[in-house]
């Protein structure tokens, strides 16, 4: 069945079942830009370099750890940090806060006696 996207004078406009509810949900959900920005804000990207390091070092993130990492990035952003070291769950991540991108990752064994450069803040989570 085909429905017209706009009414034609003299012909009643038909809407598919549930279309009115979808429109109401969209109106209360906010604009597309708001929704997209919120999704992008919460998303943590991992650079190719960091992906390679994570594979080499057997560093894997669960969904809960990704959320914890995102919250740590939010804390760093609130303090005006541009590049941060985030230490959590016996792992360390160097993150570009503005782009929400993990630059590199280390396991607990590699953190010992290591020097971190090009950061302007650190976040330690429990």
Decide if 77 is inside a domain: yes
Decide if 59 is inside a domain: yes
pLDDT at 101 over 80: yes
Decide if 16 is inside a domain: no
Which range is least confidently modeled, 8-12, 41-45, 52-56? 8-12
pTM greater than 0.75 (yes/no): no
Phi/psi for 37 (5° steps) reads -60, -40
The partner residues of 8 in beta bridges, in order of sequence, read: 11
Closest CA to 44 of 111, 118, 97, 8: 97
Decide if 29 is inside a domain: no
The partner residues of 84 in beta bridges, in order of sequence, read: 95, 121
Decide if 90 is inside a domain: yes
pLDDT classification of 23: cutoffs 50, 70, 90? low
Decide if 9 is inside a domain: no
Cα–Cα dist 54/93, whole Å: 10
Decide if 97 is inside a domain: yes
Domain count, the chain: 1
Question: Are 106 and 57 spatial neighbours (Cβ–Cβ below 8 Å)?
Answer: yes
In terms of residue numbers, what domain contains 82? Answer: 44-124
pLDDT in tens, 73-87: 999 999 999 999 999
Decide if 37 is inside a domain: no
């Amino acid at each position: 069945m085909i429905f017209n996207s706009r009414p034609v004078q003299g012909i009643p406009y038909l809407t598919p079942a549930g279309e009115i509810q979808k429109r109401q949900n969209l109106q209360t959900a906010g604009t597309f830009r708001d929704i997209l920005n919120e999704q992008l804000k919460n998303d943590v990207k991992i650079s190719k370099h960091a992906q390679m390091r994570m594979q080499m070092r057997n560093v894997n993130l669960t969904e809960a750890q990704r959320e914890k990492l995102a919250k740590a990035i939010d804390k760093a952003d609130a303090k005006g940090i541009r590049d941060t070291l985030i230490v959590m769950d016996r792992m360390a991540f160097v993150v570009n806060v503005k782009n929400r991108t993990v630059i590199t990752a280390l396991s607990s064994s590699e953190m010992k006696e290591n020097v971190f450069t090009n950061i302007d803040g650190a976040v330690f989570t429990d």
